Structure 1
Amino acid sequence: MSSPHRPVATRRVFYIPGYDPIHPRRYRELYRKESAAQAAISGYEIALSARQGGSTYGWHVEAQIEGASVRSEVDVLIWSDIVRGSMSNSIPATYLQLIRTAWAYISTGALFRLMRLRKGPVIAALYPVAFLLLQLALAVLAGITALRLCARASDMIGEAAALGIGAALGLVAFAGVLRWFKAKDAKFFAYYLMHDFAYSARYGGANPPELEARMDEMRAQIAAALAEDVDEVLIVGHSSGAHLAVSILADMIRAGLPGAAPRLSFLSLGQVVPMVSFLPRAVRLRTDLAYLSAREEITWVDVTAPGDGCAFALCDPVAVTGVAPADKRWPLVISAAFTQTLSPARWRALRWRFFRLHFQYLCAFDRPGDYDYFRITAGPKTLGERFQVRAPSKSRLEKPVNRFRSMAS
């Protein structure tokens, strides 16, 4: 492992996105824009350049931070194609998905236990259910209205004709309303969120086979980087990507790390781990959470913020799941404290933009504290060195509330 006193000169960064169907170039452009903004605020230099060729999507970063020159190579570990495939459902299939997902969380009691943690992500989970049901109600209303309007013309065209035309127009109106809402889902996010929660609930918290296969590929990419001459290998798991990273890293450490491996670090951002670990068949994830939390081979820092309504803010994912071992050492749970690290004007502009706030961890802060995504990914300190004297958040939640705590023997 690299010396704790040796400045980081070279770093490999692997970013695992959440449930996102968009091409990974959005993350490169986000990094380009926000790193420039943070550099201007914080007084350092950072520049991106495109990667030529290669089998993965990523970019180069050159930075002058804290008096040191650092080169970082950033890779996005892609599973957006799997996400898109899971979202290609018809309207009727999505409503069937709604029923199955609601039943998975309600029948197991997971929904009510999650509410004892943070209301925000539970509301986010209930929102697509409520809004899709509202869409269905409006579609039924439109259909009934069309049928009644045609019924008024029965004296002129006959009752049978009016009923037939009304039924046809009612079906057209019903389908038209549902299709209109689906076409506008980029504004409403109801279908998107429904597919997101359904993907985790479909197998009761177990990973679908296609995702397990992709995670094996991700693990191989990270393992190859550990054999390179770099000072740190940093894995960043955002949103749903955090629980994928937990299992990938646990598998890697079980398999054994190279003897002279660079420092291995894990940064989880805006995590939603309990949405999966509280489900009955999430045995693999619970086992990996317990295992990773006690390993000395890794530094794990978990960053959330109460202002992010889509994350389980300041919930220790290992402890609240009820699988913390006696020798638990990770994660270090800290807050990005949006209300303090964003100016009042910036906070007012973003406060009700819930999805934008869920990505704030990857963006610039105009009143930065000790969390700075670009210092972490492009600066001269390892994750462990940067937060070695940082105390965990006093308002973190650690009480175990999960009903399902079974792990692989």
Structure 2
Amino acid sequence: MQGGQQGGQVARRVVFYIPGFDPHPPRRYRELYRKEGAEQARLSGYDLGLAPSDKGAAFGWTVTARIEGAEVVSRFEVLVWHDLVKAAMPGGVLATYGQLARTAWVYIASGALGPLIGLRKGPLLAAMYPVAVLLGQLALALALAWLLAEALAGLMPGGAAVLLAVPVVWLVLRGFQRLDGRIFAHYLMHDFAYSAARGGAYDPALETRLAAFGARIRAALDEGADEVLVVGHSSGAHLGATVLADLIRAGLPEGPVLSFLTLGQAVPMVSFLPRAGRLRADLALMAGQGRVPWVDVSAPGDGCTFALCDPVAVTGVAPPGARWPLVLSAAFSQTLSAGKQAQLRRRYFRLHFQYLCAFDALPDAPDAYDYFRVTAGPRTLWARFGARAPSPGRIARPASPWRDLAP
């Protein structure tokens, strides 16, 4: 493998970050890296500085770091698809409830729901959260409308009372929608509905964007960097697998190490669906190839990920002699202090982003998971983690009811 052949040392790196289903513009990831990187540098005793990227056409930044006694320059680029996310998030209350009904039907009718529940309860509880909250909001709105109709029934004919009470349902639901920046029920419903809308098949607009992502990554291989690192977080994990699989099919040049890191993945939510043959083929290829080392990091403390589930193996498409991914745990219970864990308790959405943040109780070990050492330090991904054994909690039992591969 090239990482081993070249000694795994990095002085220059290009990092491509693929966000999950997020309607916010990519600058949020630069500011998150700035804030959390400074905190991790303070805690761990290394130097980390950000500057504007020298690639004006793309959104990103440059990191100059001194870590483990070496100076490294890393150029970051965010592969943008937030505009597609925003377009897939209907603004109307009725549209969200329509998505709820359609999405529930897709997972139930396809037979995917039972096997998903059997893998991990956490992600399915996360999936049930928007369903329960939206149905609860609807029940409350109907109850208030009924109470109003009852109160007006003695003052006017019953039909008129009902007509006056009906708008209360919409007003209450609209009020809850305005509070969704705190509740996240509508947002999470849009997320699950996006994957389910085509039964796991990619939207044509997203396919076009993935091809553009691949072209940018391919171009970076000619920049003279020591490592090109692709990082996929949440839904960005399976998008990254597809982009890299397409690049491998097209043929990759000899040259810099090309590495793949997935964080907080929820791949089975897509790969278990009937029309996800394209993704299943990409996962199978990525598991068996020998060019791109793939490390998958998750944590049981993150309720929005299929923690420690090998995304290829559980989908049932791992080829004979599959090499990837190396499944590791970020072990929040060991890498975050008791105080930090208490601060983050029940902040499920924030915990899902912890992989991109500072850890205040990291062990003093070179192969401990530290996002900033991985993306700005002097060792390739595989040089850093290649000696580690897979997490003992790794789940590799094939569970998907659909295992066909797209041609």
Q: Structure 1-normalised TM-score?
A: 0.96
Residue 117 of structure 1 is aligned with which of 116, 119, 126? 119
Query: Distance between the aligned counterparts of 1:216 and 1:325, measured in 2?
Result: 25
Gaps of 5+ in 2: none
Match of 1:245 among 218, 240, 247: 240
- Counterpart of 2:70 (choices 68, 71, 92) is 68
Q: Tell me which residue corresponds to 1:27.
A: 29
Is residue 2:361 matched to residue 1:394? Answer: no
Check conservation: 2:90, 2:96, Cα contact below 8 A: no
Work out the CA distance in 2 between the residues paired with 1:351 and 1:250.
Answer: 37
C-alpha distance in 1 between matches for 2:35 and 2:257: 28
Q: Report SS of the residue matched to 1:116.
A: helix
Task: Show the counterpart of 1:300.
Answer: 294
1:373 to 371, 374, 381: 371
Amino acid at match of 1:79: W
Task: Read off the aligned partner of 1:245 and give its amino acid letter.
Answer: G
| Matched AA of 2:316 | G
Which residue number in structure 1 is paired with residue 403 of structure 2?
Answer: 405
The residue type equivalent to 2:353 in the other structure is F
Summarize deviations over 1:249-273 as a string: whole Å, max 9, x none: 00001101113x2100000000000
2:180 matches 1:185: yes
Tell me, yes or no, if structure 1 residue 199 matches structure 2 residue 194. yes
Q: Residues 137 and 86 of structure 1: is their aligned pair in 2 closer, same or farther, counting only changes over 3 Å?
A: same
Alignment of 1:8-407 (within 5 A): 8-51=10-53, 54-154=56-156, 159=157, 163-164=159-160, 166-259=161-254, 261-369=255-363, 370-407=368-405
The residue type equivalent to 2:71 in the other structure is S
The alpha-carbon deviation at position 147 of structure 1 amounts to 1.4
Q: Which structure 1 segments of 5+ residues have no match?
A: none
CA contact (8 A) 2:8 2:382 kept: no
Report the 3-state secondary structure (helix = DSSP H, G, I; strand = E; otherwise coil) of the residue aligned with 1:339: helix
Cα 1:6–1:87, aligned 2, differ >3 Å: closer, same or farther? closer
Cα distance in 1 for residues equivalent to 2:275 and 2:372: 37
Per the alignment, in what secondary structure is the counterpart of residue 18 of structure 1?
coil
String of CA shifts for 1:97-137, please: whole Å, max 9, x gaps: 11110000011121110011110000111111111111111
Output the CA distance in 1 between the equivalents of 2:37 and 2:277. 38
Instruction: Tell whether the 8 Å contact from 2:116 to 2:268 is kept in structure 1 after alignment.
Output: yes
Q: Distance in 1 between matches of 2:386 and 2:283?
A: 21
> How far apart, CA to CA, are the structure 2 residues paired with 1:200 and 1:7?
38
State the secondary structure of the residue aligned to 2:293: strand
Q: Deviations over 1:233-286 (max 9, x none)?
A: 000000000000000000001101113x21000000000000000001100110
CA RMSD of aligned residues (A): 1.2
Post-superposition offset of 1:54: 1.4
2: CA distance, partners of 1:340 / 1:295: 33
SS at match of 2:17: strand
- For 2:82 and 2:399, how far apart are their aligned partners in 1? 32
What is the deviation of 1:6? 5.5
**TM-score relative to the length of structure 2:** 0.96
In 1, Cα distance between the equivalents of 2:345 and 2:380? Answer: 31
TM-superposed CA distance for 1:163, in Å, is 3.7
Report percent identity of matched pairs: 57
- Structure with the greater alpha carbon radius of gyration: 1
For the residue of structure 1 that corresponds to 2:103, the secondary structure is helix
